[in-house]
Amino acid sequence: MSDASILSDTERTSGRDALRKNIQAALALSGSIRATLGPRGLDKLLIDDTGRTLTTNDGVTVLETAKVEHPVAKMLINASSVQDKIARDGTTTTVLISAEMLNNAWHLVTQGVHPSMIARGYRMAEDFCRTELLTLTIDAEKEDLLVATKTALAGKSHEAMRIHLACLSVEAAEIIIDTQSGVTIADPTRVKVLSQSGGVVTDSHLVTGLVLAKKRILETMPKKIGAGKVLLINGGIERRAMASEMKLNVTSPGVLQSFRDKEIEMLVQQVEHLQSLGVTLLACKEGIDDDIRSALNEAGIQAFRRVAREDLDLLARGCGATLLHDVKRATASDLGAFIESRNEMWNGVAHWIVDTEEGGATFIARGSTIDVLGEVERCFADALGVACQLLEEPLLLAGGGATQVALARKLRRYAETIPGREQLAVEAFADALEIIPRVLAENAGLDPINTLLEVVAAQSNANDDISHHFGLDVNTRSPANMIENGILEPLRITRQAISGATESAVSILRIDDVLWAKADATTPDLPEMD
Question: pLDDT per position in the chain (530 positions), as tens?
Answer: 455 555 556 677 777 888 999 999 999 999 999 999 999 999 998 887 777 888 888 888 899 888 888 889 999 999 999 999 888 899 999 999 999 999 999 999 999 999 999 999 999 999 999 999 999 999 999 889 999 999 989 888 788 889 999 999 999 999 988 887 678 888 898 899 999 888 899 999 999 999 999 999 999 998 999 999 999 999 999 876 554 565 656 566 665 566 677 778 888 899 999 999 999 999 999 999 888 899 999 999 999 999 999 999 999 988 999 999 889 889 999 999 999 999 999 888 899 999 987 878 999 999 888 888 888 999 999 999 999 999 999 999 999 999 999 999 999 999 999 999 999 999 999 999 999 999 999 999 999 999 999 999 999 999 999 999 999 999 999 999 999 999 999 999 999 999 999 999 999 999 988 777 665 444 445 445 44
Strands 336-346 and 228-233: antiparallel
- The residue from 311, 382, 403, 502 that is catalytic is 382
Strand ranges across the sheet with 488-490: 138-139, 395-398, 488-490
Q: Which of 58, 84, 89, 311 is catalytic?
A: 58
Question: Catalytic site residue 289?
Answer: no
End-to-end CA distance of the chain: 41
In the 8-state DSSP scheme, what is residue 162?
Answer: H
Cα gap 273→519, rounded to integer Å? 61
Amino acid at 517: A
Ordered alpha helix ranges (H), 180-252: none
Label each residue of 26-92 as H, E or C: HHHHHHHHHHHCCCCCCCEEEECCCCCEEEECCHHHHHHHCCCCCHHHHHHHHHHHHHHHHHCCCHH
Nearest to 377 by CA among 360, 361, 365: 365
Using a 10 angstrom Cβ sphere, with 0-12 exposed, 13-18 middle and 19 or more buried, the burial of residue 218 is: middle
Going from the C-alpha of 272 to that of each of 93, 219, 265, 296, the distances in angstroms are: 59, 21, 10, 9
Distance CA 296, CA 289 (A): 11
Beta bridge partners of 445: none
- The superfamily in CATH containing domain 211-241+260-358 is GroEL (3.50.7.10)
Contacts for 226 with CB less than 8 Å, ≥ 6 apart? 339, 340
Residue 60 backbone phi and psi in degrees, to 5: -65, -35
Task: Give alpha helix (H) positions in 190-331.
Answer: 253-277, 293-298, 309-319
Q: Give the pairing type, strands 279-284 and 349-356.
A: unpaired
Distance CA 436, CA 400 (A): 8
State which fold the 141-209+364-393 domain adopts: GROEL; domain 2 (3.30.260)
Residue 322 is among the residues annotated as catalytic for this protein: no
Q: Choose, from 36, 61, 92, 137, the residue flagged as catalytic.
A: 92
pLDDT of residue 255: 56
Domain 8-138+397-517: which CATH number of 3.20.20.80, 3.40.50.2300, 1.10.560.10, 3.90.1640.10: 1.10.560.10
Local structure of 290: helix, strand or coil: helix
* φ, ψ at 498 (rounded to 5°): -70, -45
Q: What pLDDT was estimated at residue 291?
A: 85
Q: Where are the domains of the chain?
A: 8-138+397-517, 141-209+364-393, 211-241+260-358
Beta-carbon contacts of residue 2 (< 8 Å; ≥ 6 apart) = none
Assign 189 to helix, strand or coil: helix
> Is 234 strand, coil or helix?
coil
Dihedral of CA 417/418/421/423: which sign?
negative
Report phi then psi at 231, rounded to 5.
-120, 130
- pTM of this prediction? 0.85
What are the phi and psi torsion angles at 210 (to 5°)? -95, 125
| Catalytic annotation present for 58 | yes
- What is the per-residue pLDDT for 275? 93
Distance of CA 114 to the CA centre of its chain: 37
Q: Amino acid identity, residue 404?
A: Q
Calpha distance 280→143 (Å, rounded): 41
The DSSP-derived string for 311-374 is: HHHHHHHHHT--EES-GGG--GGG-EEEEEEEEEEETTEEEEEEEETT--EEEEEEESSHHHHH
Residue 393 gets which letter from DSSP? Answer: S
Marked catalytic residue, from 56, 61, 91, 494 = 91
Res 57: pLDDT: 86
| Residue 514: burial class (beta carbons within 10 Å; 0-12, 13-18, 19+) | middle
The 10s digit of each residue's pLDDT in 426-443 is: 999 999 999 999 999 999
- What residues does 54 pair with on adjacent strands? 46
CA 459 to CA 443: how far, in whole Å? 22
Q: Which residues pair with 408 in a beta bridge?
A: none
Active-site residue, 135 included: no
What pLDDT does residue 257 have? 60
The number of residues making up the chain comes to 530
Determine the pLDDT at residue 254. Answer: 63
Q: Phi/psi zone of residue 401: left (φ > 0), alpha (ψ -120 to 50 degrees), beta?
A: left
